[in-house]
Amino acid sequence: MMRNKLLILVLCLLMGSPLLAQRDNDVQQQYLRAKGLFSQEQWLPAMESFRQVAANPSSGDFAQYASFYYSVAAARAGRTDEAKAMLRQIQQKYPRWDKQDEVSYWLARVYLEEGSLEQGIGAVEQIRNRSIKADGGDMARFYLQRDASIEQLKGLLARHPTADYVAQILARKISNQPIASQDQRLLNELISRYKLDKELLSQPATAKSVRKEAYTVAVMLPFMLDNLQPERNIREIYFPLDIYEGMKLAQKELAAQGITVNLLAYDTRRDSLTTVGILRSPEMKNVDLIVGPLYPGPTRAALEYSFNNAVNLVNPISVNPDFTLNNPYSFLFKPSLETQARKAADFAARSFHPGNAPGKALVVFGTQARDTLMARVYKRELEKKGFNQVRMEQIRPGDEKRLRSLLVSDNAADMQTGGRLSKEAIGHIFIASEDEAIVANSMNALSTRKDRLPIIGHESWVKKNLVSNSQLERMGVYILSPENINYTNPDFFAFREKYLQQVHAMPSRQAYLGYDLMMLFGRLLNQHGTVFQSDAEAEVLYQGIMCTKFNLQSYQDNQCVPIVQFRNSALEIVYQ
């Protein structure tokens, strides 16, 4: 009897199986189409396809995977809020799913990428699988090394005492401080408690600041003197010479003030081996400051030399914040990308925050690393200042026309995905990109709006002729101008006349830069000695031809980022 009942049951299942199979097959095909879009990095279409699978009551186990891949696609598309919301939903809706550790890993990644370190470390600490947690720890180390201050790390370790990777980064950051600033008690406690390898804690060489009658500055630039050819790009070849000519004029000016600086010029030729040979030469033992090099290979060699020999090093043109990472003797003469974004956020908070109302902003950025960095820092800094609705929109190549559908609307809209945004919904827009297609499509869309939406852009738009000056003035665009030259400064006219007499050519921007750099650091050496950062006051302001301000106790790059606007066809500073 039991066998007959079982047979009837099997037959019933078989009779119903074509419908069930068809339903499962439809869901599977839809899921595979979504995976295809995902593998092609078409993140937004993939998100929509995975969303449909996840929302389908017939999806079964596909719903869990679709929800997960939706989150990853959203994270890759820069839609961090949607990624976080779905990942948290997966944790609550499918608590027994065997992929929960991968969910926690991606939740940690999204939090860490946007600078939410507390939530990111919390997510890593939820992971149980050893291998995945080790990967999570490695990921956390990267972001903590880049983003976390010593005080933040102390707080994180207090709340997550088993997170040995936090302890390792905290110990490393303490060891990278000048000896006088190091908390030796805490450092030794970390080494003992977490069994840290002292050899892995990079220790820069230490030296006392020495005052001299004369200071020696090594100018290590790719002069390429052996390759000067008329058909080569003249600007590419000569801009290091322009920097050097500016420095030589500053050398004369400093001498007139009783400050003796000897300049030694070295041609690094964009070559690492050449640079290493220069650094090993006997005369380098007497060098008090290195200016340059400019290219990655030579720069790495010089940074290592600076770190191991306690010689200050300044890069005249880089804006990469990694240049100063973990080296107390390295400086950027220009404001780093992080500083530019931080100052832009400060300006926006002062100018656009509507009192007690929610602060809103739209951040548009491309796929370049510099775009992503500036967008992330800008969002983080705005949120610190009370902006609670900061929407991030990453525009991938070929997707620029989406900007128009996003920006052009007369109707009030909220911050929902895909909604056309009104001025009330956006607040203001920061276009963190130099990509011509992104800038052009953004500005064209914004120019058709009836409201006057506040826009923050970058001076590179002007230099590269991405947008006309008249359009920038008509739309009232605020322009980040870290290389702004004060053309009303008497020093500007005096320098130009002297440069013409000496070089018999009009000075370029790099010539002004070289002059200001040498004037600033020449005075710092004279006033505070060879390791001037250990003795200098907190803030050093040198009002040269370009705006120059260093806070040597907190930052290792120029903190002066003027923001300008075109008014009556001339640039005026509105923030500095």
Integer Cα distance of 385 and 387 in angstroms: 6
- One domain for residues 194 and 223: no
Instruction: Considering only residues 235 and 555, tell me which one the structure prediction assigns the higher pLDDT.
Output: 555
3-state secondary structure 362-379: EEEECCCHHHHHHHHHHH
Integer Cα distance of 71 and 106 in angstroms: 8
Integer Cα distance of 205 and 226 in angstroms: 35
174-222 tens-digit pLDDT: 887 755 467 878 988 898 899 887 655 666 777 888 999 999 999 999 9
Q: Number of folded domains in the chain?
A: 3
Q: Is residue 546 part of a domain?
A: no
Read off the amino acid at residue 457. Answer: G
Tell me the CATH number at 111.
Answer: 1.25.40.10
Q: Among 300, 333, 366, which residue terminates a domain?
A: 333
Q: What is the DSSP letter of 271?
A: -
- With a cut of 70, say whether residue 88 has pLDDT above it: yes
- One domain for residues 86 and 103: yes
- One domain for residues 348 and 323: no
pLDDT at res. 517: 95
Q: Is 138 helix (H, G, I), strand (E, B) or coil?
A: helix
- One domain for residues 88 and 179: yes
Q: Is residue 427 part of a domain?
A: yes
- One domain for residues 124 and 167: yes
Q: Is residue 322 part of a domain?
A: yes
- One domain for residues 344 and 400: yes
- With a cut of 80, say whether residue 275 has pLDDT above it: yes
pLDDT at res. 418: 46
- One domain for residues 291 and 342: no
- One domain for residues 386 and 314: no
Read off the amino acid at residue 470. Answer: S
- One domain for residues 255 and 166: no
- One domain for residues 176 and 324: no
Instruction: Considering only residues 538 and 440, tell me which one the structure prediction assigns the higher pLDDT.
Output: 440
Tell me the CATH number at 369.
Answer: 3.40.50.2300
Region 556-575: what's the mean pLDDT? Answer: 93
With beta carbons less than 8 A apart as the criterion, state whether 341 and 380 touch.
no
455-505 tens-digit pLDDT: 999 999 999 999 999 999 999 999 999 999 888 888 889 999 999 999 888
Q: Quick one: which of 86, 24, 92 has its CA closest to 61?
A: 24
- With a cut of 50, say whether residue 316 has pLDDT above it: yes
99-127 tens-digit pLDDT: 999 999 999 999 998 889 999 999 999 99
Q: How much is the mean pLDDT over the chain?
A: 86
DSSP 17-80: HHHHHHHHHHHHHHHHHHHHHHHTT-HHHHHHHHHHHHH-TT-TTHHHHHHHHHHHHHHHTT-H
With beta carbons less than 8 A apart as the criterion, state whether 362 and 426 touch.
yes
Q: Is residue 75 part of a domain?
A: yes
Q: Which of 5-14, 57-66, 321-330, 388-397 is predicted with the least confidence, judged by mean pLDDT?
A: 5-14
Q: Is residue 574 part of a domain?
A: no
Q: Is 331 helix (H, G, I), strand (E, B) or coil?
A: strand
Q: Where does the pLDDT of residue 557 fall: very low under 50, low under 70, confident under 90, or very high at 90 and above?
A: very high
- With a cut of 70, say whether residue 227 has pLDDT above it: no
Q: Quick one: which of 150, 156, 200 has its CA closest to 178?
A: 150
With beta carbons less than 8 A apart as the criterion, state whether 219 and 292 touch.
yes
3-state secondary structure 500-521: HHHHCCCCCHHHHHHHHHHHHH
Q: Is residue 232 part of a domain?
A: yes
Instruction: Considering only residues 170 and 357, tell me which one the structure prediction assigns the higher pLDDT.
Output: 170
pLDDT at res. 317: 95
pLDDT at res. 365: 96
Integer Cα distance of 38 and 48 in angstroms: 11
Radius of gyration of the chain (CA): 28
**Length of the chain in terms of residues written:** 576
**What pTM was estimated for this model as a whole?**
0.70
- One domain for residues 186 and 220: no
Q: Is residue 513 part of a domain?
A: no
Q: Which two tokens stand for residue 512?
A: 């002004």
The distance from CA 31 to its chain's CA centroid, rounded to whole angstroms, is 35
Read off the amino acid at residue 314. Answer: V
Q: Is 153 helix (H, G, I), strand (E, B) or coil?
A: helix
Q: Which of 34-43, 172-181, 359-368 is predicted with the least confidence, judged by mean pLDDT?
A: 172-181
Other Cβ atoms less than 10 A from the Cβ of 277: the count is 13
Which range has highest mean pLDDT (257-271, 423-437, 535-549)? 257-271
Integer Cα distance of 432 and 371 in angstroms: 5
- One domain for residues 134 and 249: no
DSSP 156-174: HHHH-TT-HHHHHHHHHHH
% of residues, the chain, pLDDT over 90: 58
Q: Among 200, 223, 238, which residue terminates a domain?
A: 200
pLDDT at res. 83: 94
Domain extent for 57: 28-200
Q: What phi and psi, each to the nearest 5 degrees, are found at residue 260?
A: -100, 120
Q: Is residue 533 part of a domain?
A: no
Q: Which two tokens stand for residue 374?
A: 């500036």
Other Cβ atoms less than 10 A from the Cβ of 44: the count is 18
Cα angle value 520/523/524 (rounded, 5°): 85
Q: Among 480, 512, 544, which residue terminates a domain?
A: 480
